[in-house]
Structure 1
Amino acid sequence: MKELVTAALTAAKERGQDVADVPLTAIAATAGISRSTLLRRLGGSRAALDEAVRESGVDPGGRPPVRERAIEAAALLVAERGLAGVTLDAVADRADCSLPSLHTVFEGRDGLLAAVFERHSALPGLEALAADPPERLEDTVRALHATFVAAFAHEPRIVPAVFADLLGRPDGPAARVMAASLPQSLDSLDRLLLPHVRSGRLRPLPTPVLVQLLLGPLLNHVLMRPVLEPALGAELPSMDETVDIFVDAYLRAVAVPEGGATRAAESRGGADSP
């Protein structure tokens, strides 16, 4: 049976399909035997082959792939238990897959947590925003705030759990997860902010500084809001009002006044002229 499992996995990889979706004819051809011989060796049904593939640590398919089931299961576990409470054993049990298959797909726990964070963090929203950015600086800043607020409120609540772990264990899995997603996040933020720097609408500060000034107050507020709401009640501005305040404060801090932007652009144009 081992050589048949190898043939099934090879055929599935070559065709880009789950094992369960690969025709027996293709598996037989890969194994160098006829379909009738394959069926005879399987006892007349492919169920034995699918079970053997599953025992080898690979899900044969016929339902959502292991990757999808594991990401969904891990996200729910993170929301329930926090990052520290998520083990590969628990994910395998919740996703109804084998432990070896998780190692094969994600190369360990950090890879799985990184995939969960990538899907449920602000990254998808950032990439979508960078692909179709607003023209006005104020609209860009407001859209960035809205993207991060939505990420914190998104269910299952992965982003708050990651920040909780990061604050409690600066060298823990959350730090590694965020480091893995940082290049993609900074690339999107560069595409959103640097055009405004080049046009003279935004002060020419390093991107990390621009981002920290942009998101620092917002992240601090969102993390503290569950404590502030019962304490301050109606005195606490709504989330929309809070975003308006932070957008205005950011623009006052780093935006170049309209006249200054025009002079800066003219100055650069003159410097570029022969």
Structure 2
Amino acid sequence: MEGVLAEVVEAAVRAARRLGKDVADVPTRVIAQEAGMSRSTLLRRIGGSRQGLDEAVRAAGIDPGGQRPVRERAVEAGAYLISANGLAGMTLEAVAAAAGCSVHSLYAVFGGRDELLKAIFERYSPIRDAEEIFGGPRADLGDTVRRVYRVLAAALTREPRVMPAMFAEAFARPAAPAVHTLARHLAPRLLAAIGGWLAEEVAAGRLRPMPVPVLAQQMIGPVMMHFLTRPALSALPGVELPDPDAVCAEFADAFLRATALPEPGREA
């Protein structure tokens, strides 16, 4: 490499991957530490300026960046590709082209397609919001259900439509590797969040004693089905749907009527 040692480029890429940044956004001090040399030695080897390092990184087939971090651009680009073309349309080559980076950069940041899928799911699914709801102070049962429904409604209706595309893939190709990847990533966290909360409500005598998976399906299934099919229903002549907040309130009331136990001292 002209004027720059391969080991310096490798150190810069390793540091960028570890920090989740573009190479151009990693300080030379950090790159020097990664390479096991002083900053002054690093600067001598790259010709005294950052430009030499960026040119060598680019020559190695890696986008040094300097824009928004590759991670942000790739997650956003991947989400829009999933929304438009489904999970199968989200190849690393397509993401790299849409994000303005190289496939090498995606491997440096994510390590592969599965990790990119997980990052997209983290950003566009309701999992973090759900964990925040169930991990915080316990609120009124009805308020909690309505809050969960609003979070689900937001995730299922916003653009890019990542969640509907992911559910469509799961229904159409349940054995697909991408579906298994997301299930392994999602299931334990969902069980720990909503499953743990439902079990507490059952133990406290506020919900009927039902198996937690069945109770979770009864809680989430109807509202998810509504918002997954809402775009198609809205396009039908003569069909007028309530606004999303009203829908969430109606489904919450229906769930509570079906599963909530009367408070002590009150008749059912």
Task: Tell me, yes or no, whether TM beats 0.5.
Answer: yes
Q: Which residue in 1 is equivalent to 2:143?
A: 139
What one-letter code is carried by the residue in structure 2 that aligns with 1:198?
A
CA contact (8 A) 1:106 1:112 kept: yes
| SS of equivalent to 1:51 | helix
Q: Which residue in 2 is equivalent to 1:104?
A: 108
Q: Is residue 233 of structure 1 aligned with residue 242 of structure 2?
A: no
Report which of the two has the higher share of helix. 1
Paired positions, count: 261
Please say which of residues 18-27 and 140-149 is displaced more in the overlay. 18-27
Q: Is residue 202 of structure 1 aligned with residue 198 of structure 2?
A: no
Q: Is residue 65 of structure 1 aligned with residue 66 of structure 2?
A: no
Please say which of residues 9-18 and 185-194 is displaced more in the overlay. 9-18
Matches within 5 A, 1:46-57: 46-56=50-60
Contiguous gaps of at least 5 residues in structure 2: none
CA contact (8 A) 1:201 1:256 kept: yes
CA contact (8 A) 1:57 1:100 kept: yes
Matches within 5 A, 1:118-267: 118-172=122-176, 173-231=178-236, 233=238, 236-259=241-264
Distance in 1 (CA, whole Å) between partners of 2:165 and 2:196 is 28
| SS of equivalent to 1:219 | helix
| SS of equivalent to 1:233 | coil
Provide TM-score, normalisation by structure 2.
0.82
- Specify the structure having the higher radius of gyration (Cα): 1
**Deviation per residue, 1:26-77 (Å, 9 max, x gap):** 6289454772x64454344321212323444655453332222211111121
Distance in 2 (CA, whole Å) between partners of 1:59 and 1:139 is 48
Contiguous gaps of at least 5 residues in structure 1: 263-274
Q: Which residue in 2 is equivalent to 1:27?
A: 32
Q: Which residue in 2 is equivalent to 1:267?
A: none
Distance in 1 (CA, whole Å) between partners of 2:106 and 2:266 is 53
Looking at both structures, which has the greater relative contact order when contacts are Cα pairs under 8 Å and sequence separation is at least 6? 2
What one-letter code is carried by the residue in structure 1 that aligns with 2:185?
A
Please say which of residues 186-195 and 9-18 is displaced more in the overlay. 9-18
Identity %: 46
Please say which of residues 146-155 and 243-252 is displaced more in the overlay. 243-252
Distance in 2 (CA, whole Å) between partners of 1:137 and 1:219 is 19
Distance in 2 (CA, whole Å) between partners of 1:210 and 1:87 is 37
